[in-house]
Structure 1
């Protein structure tokens, strides 16, 4: 039995592509194809039907995949159990996060992690889509909001919310609103996922108010919205954690301080494993202390 053949076949089925499997396994496409073909020849059955458009797993392939996946997970668990408390954390750690969230929260963590563990190499994937951690070979994600995939492990770090911000120059020129309904008299810069037609705000007394938006400027990039606020172009709802530095330097001002969007949890998410590998364990330990401190002030 060639366990490499089995492991490669499992990866191909997991990601649904010879090319993607080769990329994740860091080997040529031809090697991946040859290994799967050799496995089929040894077993005497067709495991995969290959076409130019898609990959179809045969009935025999599905049965073999299910048993093989369990066996490989057991082997990985055994290896992780032996190595989890031994040696220096090392290897490539692939992380993903939404662009604004990751660029605000991760630089400090990564800097400290690389200083403490120089043998860990970090690959960052900033994406505002939902990255499939297993098929794309990602070790850890930071996600905001309620998590729907119950097959993943989630570790809550804190909470975040959006609040109205403006530059001092804008407020000097146009004045500051004293109630959310007065926002209609101002230039509001809208982040599309929060709503193109209205803003919904709540205060600490749980009173809610809906503010219709004229849609003068709408963008789906938080960093663009933030830059426009800094340029004095208007008022925007921004996550409080991405405005920390600018608020301390008085470049932006949080207005209507009693009002905010709904609170959303922020969590680490990673694929389930019996024993967390050393590089992931080291990163989580460093990041948890830093991020819980940064996010705790957002809790209400």
Structure 2
């Protein structure tokens, strides 16, 4: 039995593509194709139907994949169990997060990880889409909101929410609203995923208010909106964790402090594994306490 052939076949099925499998395994497409063909020849069955547009797993291929996947995971778990207590963590760690979330929360903890573990390399993938961790070969994600994929492992870090922020210069020139309904009289910069026509805010007594907006600017990038708020162009709902530094330096002011958006959980998410990979375990152990402190629900 050639376990390398089996492992390559499992990867091809997982990612649904010879090209993507070759990319993740860092080998030529021709090698991946040849290994799968060799496996089919040895088994005497067709495992995959190949066309220019689609890869289809045969019934025999699905059965072989199911059993092989379990075997590969057991072997990986055995290796990780043995190596987790030997030497220092090493290898490439691929982490993904939404752009604003990742750029705010990850730089400090990644720097600490690189300093403490010189044999670990980190690749950060900031993407405002749901990255398929398995098919794209990603070790860890930071995600906000309730998780829809129950097959993944989640470790809650804390919570995040949006609150209204403005620059001191804007408030000096236009005044400070004292109730959410007064926002209608101001220039509100809207983050389109939150809604283009209204903001929904809640206070500590669970009272809710809906504010209709007719802002002059709508964008789908939180960092752009934040820059415009800093430039004095208006008021925006922003995640509190991306405004920490500017708030401390009085560049941004949180207004209407009794009001905010609904709270959403923020979690580490990673594919299930019997024994957590040493590099992943090392990073999470290093990062969890720091991120939990930053994501505490210590305001209303």
Deviation at 1:80, TM superposition (A): 1.4
Separation of aligned partners in 2, 1:91 and 1:265: 30
Aligned length: 300
- CA distance in structure 2 between the aligned counterparts of 1:74 and 1:282, rounded to whole angstroms: 21
1:232 equivalent in structure 2: 232
8 Å CA contact 1:158, 1:299 repeated in 2: no
Q: How has the CA–CA distance of structure 1 residues 72 and 236 changed in structure 2, closer, same or farther, with 3 Å as cutoff?
A: same
Tell me the secondary structure at the aligned position of residue 296 of structure 1. Answer: coil
Query: 1:78-97, aligned counterparts within 5 Å?
Result: 78-97=78-97
- Let me know the Cα RMSD of the aligned residues: 0.9
1:268-279 correspondence runs (5 A): 268-279=268-279
- Per the TM alignment, residue 165 of structure 1 is displaced from its structure 2 partner at its CA by 0.2
Which runs of 5 or more structure 2 residues have no equivalent in the other structure?
A: none
C-alpha contact (below 8 Å) 1:160/1:299 kept by paired residues: no
**Match status 1:63 vs 2:63:** yes
- Tell me the secondary structure at the aligned position of residue 70 of structure 2: helix
| C-alpha distance in structure 1 between counterparts of 2:144 and 2:77, whole Å | 29
Provide the rounded CA distance (Å) in 1 between the counterparts of 2:6 and 2:183: 61
Shift, 1:270, TM fit: 0.5
> What is the TM-score of this pair, normalised by structure 2?
0.98
- Who is 2:45 aligned against? 45
Which residue of 2 is the match for residue 155 of structure 1? Answer: 155
Q: Provide the C-alpha distance between the structure 1 equivalents of 2:174 and 2:53, rounded to a whole number of angstroms.
A: 57
Measure how far apart 1:215 and its partner are. 3.9
Structure 1, 121-130 or 273-282: larger mean CA deviation: 273-282
Task: Give the aligned partner of residue 294 of structure 1.
Answer: 294
Which deviates further from its counterpart, 23-32 or 74-83? Answer: 74-83
Contact 1:160 1:239 in 2 (8 A): yes
Distance 2:176 2:196 in 1: 22
* Corresponding residue SS for 2:237: strand
Q: Is contact 1:190-1:196 (8 Å) kept?
A: yes
Query: For residues 279 and 69 of structure 2, what CA distance do their matches in structure 1 show?
Result: 23
Residue 154 of structure 1 aligns to a residue whose secondary structure is: strand
Q: In structure 1, what is the Cα distance between the partners aligned to 2:215 and 2:118? A: 48
Tell me the distance in 2 between the aligned counterparts of 1:118 and 1:132. 28
Q: CA separation of 1:299/1:60 partners in 2, compared to 1, >3 Å: closer, same or farther?
A: farther
TM-score in terms of structure 1 length = 0.98
**Match runs of 1:30-179 below 5 Å:** 30-179=30-179
Single out whichever of 77-86 and 125-134 deviates more from structure 2: 77-86
| 1:253 corresponding residue in structure 2 | 253
State how far apart, in whole Å, the 1-side matches of 2:269 and 2:8 are: 25
Q: Say whether the 8 Å CA contact 1:199–1:213 is kept in structure 2.
A: yes
Per-residue deviation at 1:299?
5.6
Aligned partners of 1:79 and 1:4: how far apart in 2?
15
**C-alpha separation in 1, matches of 2:299 and 2:26:** 43
Aligned structure 1 segments of 4 or more residues deviating by more than 6 angstroms: none
Q: Is the 8 A contact 2:187 2:215 kept in 1?
A: no
Shift of 1:298: 4.5
- 1:71-112 Cα deviation digits (max 9, x unpaired): 111111111111122210000000000000000000000011
Structure 1 gaps of 5+ residues are none
